[in-house]
Amino acid sequence: MWFIAHRSSLIVATMLTITTDPRLRALSAVLAATDWPDREQRPVPRGVHPQAHALKKYVAPFRDHPAVAFAQAALDADPDPAPLFARALNDEPELSERVRSFAEAASLETFWAEHEAGWAQSVAEVQKHVAALDFSAFLRELFDSIPDELIIHPNIAYPTTHSFGVSAAGKLYSIMPPRKAVGESPPWPFGDDRDYAARLALHDFVQAQLADLLGSRPGLIPPGEHGGGLPPEFRAEHPAWEAQVVELFAYAAQIIFLNRIEDGAGDSFAVFERRARKLAILPGVVDEVTNYIAERGMSQKCGNIETYLPVFVEEVRRLLASTAAQR
């Protein structure tokens, strides 16, 4: 589906694709043969999609394959699987060749053919929810330019714990799992929750775009510490200060975007997240990004995302200090 976004006199076309990317799915199979599925069950056991469970069982005999050792070493060095998926999408030869060899040894094409219905259903459910949403127009309210294609990969394999965004080969990717259910029950189908798919896709596109920008502009986010003002669970998920800033910005963006889709939808999500995750500064962060969108290009501090990010960081620090003083 094509969306036309207008900025000044330019007309830029951005394509939105919802698909199963074979590189990502193959890497998920390698991940299933590492200790990653066990890591996901700590500290609290969680239910996984039947496809993930079947995949883990299927690839168990191939745990000694060199691709598994390669992926395991990467996870031991960095417990975040997102960089591995970024390398796969960038067709890094060292990783791609190992994954290809694993796929051949495990006859993954045969396995995928037998389980294609679940993947096709997930793509169709996400497509139903988001195909008509104009992600690109909203992203251009945040960034001066965005890639020509936005891609959503509904992931019913591994990782099951969280979604994440990747910028690769001039495209932005959202790699999203289905929504976690209660206890150890299997996750909810994508078709059950429009707002879940919409907000995760927007979150991931923003996260990927910011990561791309920060990779080309190191030091754009001033170094700092949270000073304990952010909840322990949030800090555990995002240990680095830069990652915390990016996550807070993406949080605000998805809340604003949800309100654009349906009046009050973002506000309801914000109230839930503020209470459930103890993010007391969330309303202030949303107000700050809302003001940036309204003023972008009309003031020095809000000229563009590069000039604004240091301002955003200082506002986050101010909000954290204010929250700490009220305790």
Same domain for 75 and 21: yes
Same domain for 267 and 174: no
Q: Facing residues of 166 across strands?
A: 173
Q: What is the pLDDT of residues 119-176, one digit of tens each?
A: 999 999 999 999 999 999 999 999 999 999 999 999 999 999 899 999 999 999 999 9
Same domain for 145 and 9: yes
The answer as to whether 126 is a domain residue is yes
Residue 113: exposed, middle, or buried by beta-carbon count in 10 A (0-12, 13-18, 19+)?
A: exposed
Q: What is the pLDDT of residues 112-131, one digit of tens each?
A: 999 999 999 999 999 999 99
SS3 12: strand
Same domain for 297 and 184: no
Same domain for 107 and 26: yes
Same domain for 243 and 135: no
The pLDDT score that the predictor gives to residue 298 is: 81
Helices 194-216 + 265-276 axis angle, to 10: 70
Cis before residue 159, ω within 30 degrees of 0? yes
Same domain for 144 and 28: yes
SS3 120: helix
- Residue in the block written with tokens 């994440």: 164
**Domain hosting residue 105, numbered range:** 2-195
Reported as type and span, the H/E element at residue 252 is helix 241-261
**Segments of the chain scoring below 70 in pLDDT:** 1-13, 225-228, 325, 327
> Final residue of a domain: which of 195, 227, 254?
195
> Final residue of a domain: which of 143, 160, 195?
195
| Structural domains in the chain (count) | 2
Rounded to 5 degrees, what are φ and ψ at 101?
-65, -40
The pLDDT score that the predictor gives to residue 322 is: 85
The pLDDT score that the predictor gives to residue 224 is: 75
Same domain for 187 and 221: no
Rounded to 5 degrees, what are φ and ψ at 6?
-110, 130
